[in-house]
Amino acid sequence: MASFRVDEGGQDGSMNFDEAVGQVNGMKLQGPERRPLRSDRTTGEVTIGDLPVRHLDSTATKLEQFADAIMHHPLEVTVAMFDNLYKFCCENKYSNLPEPFNLKKEPSVPYSMQIIIQTAQPPPGGDTDGSYVHIFKHVYLHRNKVSASDCVQMCHGTPLRFDWGNHTRLALTGLNFMLDKMGGKQLRYWLIKPKFEKKISIDQQAREEGYKFIRDFGPKANNRNQFMEWTDEQINTPGSKIEGWSEGKVKEALHNHMRGRQNAKTIEHWPFTLKSFTPWFLDNVLSKMLPSMRQHAITWIGRTRAGKSLGSKTVLFTQSKYEIDLADRTDLVPSILTAKHLDFFKAEPLTRFKPGVFDDGMLQKMDASFLKAYSSAHFEQGAGRHACNNPYDRSVDEEAFASMKTTKCWHISHENFIKLITPSFSAVDEAEDLDAILARTHFIVLTDSGVYHRVAATAKDYVSFIPWDNEPKDLLVQSQHEIFKAYKLNPHAHELPPSYHEDSVWSQELLRRLLNGESFGDHTDNVNEDFPDVGHVPDELEMALEREIDAMDVEE
């Protein structure tokens, strides 16, 4: 096919259109892209005269695309000017482009415009010291057709039509191949790629960094189209952690995080272990409940700032790590769920690898059907489930404590225990329903006087009690208080105390022995004056712990 130069009586240049079409055979054309690709190279071997264009007559048929050629235009295109052109094209604000880069008249349909700027020699009679350029604008009307007369009115220079036969897609590919060979300063929307190419996948580290970037810096709400706008900006920003990612994938991640915040919350960092508890509480309360933690829930009731929430999360986190290690699930990390309404666990049901706590969720307003389902095997077999709530009957506690101090019998009757916990179960109307709950969940009740603890059972025996020996009235050992303060100030810091790994190994071995029903003796180094039978770690447990710690050091 003849070029514009040949049509005007000249000879072919270094490449004609037929040769370009032959070069792109087996290639595919991709575009128009959402943002232009910019390049700034030396002027190439192909000129405007080599392109398959003809003069556009206003009486011609309607067109989907046309060109505007401005030859020997007196202009010096600086870096700042080219940056400005790129900015307007990125924003699709072609009408804001300076003359002659804009269109003389804006079309009534959407369009995109490729711009090629080649340095040029001064025309005959021109200023030999001046700067001149050839400007070629390829206007694509996005499959809309506009009359030739309108297209002519849009051009600042010579209006041109493309003359390439019926195979438009192949011809357009050949045209863009020639445009690329023109060099100069270019803003292009069409790419030529192999038809079959290996899909480039993002490596694992880049994916992890991208998802973390979305989680940490993505918008938290979508009430003003934040998800769409933020995604559009980030996937098209050079150097962004998610540059080039699929828009759908990013928006789905943002929606998932939003739904997660509306439902149960996941905690994947927790700096406490079973060794964080006071020895007397671990020996005399938890050690009686942990062997059956897979079958029964644990309900923590009572005073605030005494360790209910911290205690439940510590036990559950220890259980999560144990179950993950036992199943050799290297794809999982220890984590727990926490929610203030039981319905939230429907969105992400509890599992043995990811147990959960119903924390400060107005337990007293939950009816019996909810509570029985939560405390029974409603979730996956072996899934840990705890509940924390504040209300208890202070008058019952005060009367019972006064009586126990007199009799030195440190327990209360089943009837008084029911009265003690009734404020947290005011929505349970039937005594049989409360009996069913007592049979399915262990109870730890922290009051101003001490700690009541009851193992899940149908029997209506006395409930044991341990008075606070001294202030503070807390389940956490003194050495852990600073760690707790640091965690509360910045829970996202993910800083673990120096002894965490050693304490974690100790806790995992202790839990393993309790769950397997093995005899381990008393496991703390401290002796509590109220409980003189608390002894030391037996030699075989110490040796097992030392072996696991040594193995961990070798792996690191």
Residue 106, pLDDT above cutoff 50: yes
Any domain includes 340: yes
Quick one: 274 and 255 in the same domain? no
Phi, psi for 400 (deg, rounded to 5) = -65, -40
Please give the pLDDT value at position 193. 87
Q: Are strands 411-412 and 463-467 parallel, antiparallel or unpaired?
A: antiparallel
Please give the pLDDT value at position 165. 81
The Cα–Cα gap between 526 and 316 comes to 24
3-state secondary structure of 359: strand
pLDDT mean over 91-118 = 96
- The residue that leads in pLDDT, 164 or 104, is 104
Written as one letter, the residue type at 373 is A
Mean pLDDT for the chain?
A: 86
Bond prior to 159 in cis (omega within 30° of 0): no
Rounded to 5°, the CA angle 102-104-106 comes to 80
The model's confidence at residue 36, banded by pLDDT at 50, 70 and 90, is very high
- Tokens 């109870």 locate to 443
The model's confidence at residue 369, banded by pLDDT at 50, 70 and 90, is low
Quick one: 164 and 296 in the same domain? no
Closest CA to 380 of 405, 355, 416, 403: 355
Quick one: 469 and 452 in the same domain? yes
3-state secondary structure of 317: helix
Please give the pLDDT value at position 244. 87
Quick one: 320 and 338 in the same domain? yes
Give per-residue pLDDT as tens, 407-452: 999 999 999 999 999 998 888 888 888 998 899 999 999 999 999 9
Please give the pLDDT value at position 2. 46
The total number of residues written for the chain in this structure = 556
Any domain includes 509: yes
Please give the pLDDT value at position 534. 34
Any domain includes 555: no
Quick one: 233 and 350 in the same domain? no
- Are 264 and 348 in contact by the 8 Å Cβ rule? The answer is yes
Residue 213, pLDDT above cutoff 70: yes
Neighbours of 521 (CB within 10 A): 11
Any domain includes 113: yes
Quick one: 292 and 253 in the same domain? no
Quick one: 414 and 349 in the same domain? yes
The model's confidence at residue 114, banded by pLDDT at 50, 70 and 90, is very high
Quick one: 155 and 47 in the same domain? yes
Closest CA to 374 of 444, 298, 452: 298
Structure tokens at 135: 């400007």
The model's confidence at residue 540, banded by pLDDT at 50, 70 and 90, is very low
Please give the pLDDT value at position 177. 95
- The residue that leads in pLDDT, 535 or 501, is 501
Please give the pLDDT value at position 376. 53
- The residue that leads in pLDDT, 385 or 8, is 385
Residue that terminates a domain, selected from 238, 262, 286: 262
Task: Give the DSSP letter string of 39-80.
Answer: EEEEE-S--GGGSSEEEPPTTS--BSEEEEEEEEEE----HH
Please give the pLDDT value at position 372. 57
- Out of 109-118, 148-157, 339-348, 394-403, pick the least confident: 339-348
Distance of CA 195 to the CA centre of its chain: 34
Portion of the chain with pLDDT greater than 70, in percent: 85
pLDDT mean over 35-39 = 92
The model's confidence at residue 230, banded by pLDDT at 50, 70 and 90, is very high
3-class DSSP string for 8-40: CCCCCCCCCHHHHHHHCCCEEEECCCCCCEEEE
Quick one: 188 and 241 in the same domain? no
Give per-residue pLDDT as tens, 296-321: 999 999 998 888 999 999 999 999 99
pLDDT mean over 314-342 = 91
Written as one letter, the residue type at 479 is S
- The residue that leads in pLDDT, 25 or 290, is 290
Any domain includes 554: no
Residues of the domain holding 166:
4-194
The model's confidence at residue 381, banded by pLDDT at 50, 70 and 90, is confident
Quick one: 316 and 180 in the same domain? no
Q: Which residues pair with 337 in a beta bridge?
A: 266, 356
Q: Which residues pair with 132 in a beta bridge?
A: 74, 120
The model's confidence at residue 263, banded by pLDDT at 50, 70 and 90, is low
Quick one: 521 and 462 in the same domain? yes
- Alpha helix (H) ranges present in 46-200? 79-90, 148-153, 168-182
Residue 194, pLDDT above cutoff 80: yes
The model's confidence at residue 554, banded by pLDDT at 50, 70 and 90, is very low
Quick one: 372 and 428 in the same domain? yes
Please give the pLDDT value at position 253. 92
Any domain includes 550: no
Q: Are strands 191-194 and 27-30 parallel, antiparallel or unpaired?
A: antiparallel
Domain count along the chain = 3
Any domain includes 20: yes
- Alpha helix (H) ranges present in 237-391? 247-262, 279-281, 287-289, 308-327, 344-347, 368-375
pLDDT mean over 70-89 = 95
Residue that terminates a domain, selected from 247, 262, 277: 262
Residue that terminates a domain, selected from 170, 194, 218: 194
- Are 376 and 408 in contact by the 8 Å Cβ rule? The answer is no
Residue 217, pLDDT above cutoff 80: yes
pLDDT mean over 336-358 = 81
Give per-residue pLDDT as tens, 494-532: 788 899 999 999 999 999 999 998 866 554 443 334 333
Any domain includes 385: yes
Distance of CA 176 to the CA centre of its chain: 39
- Predicted TM-score (pTM) of this structure: 0.55
pLDDT mean over 74-102 = 95
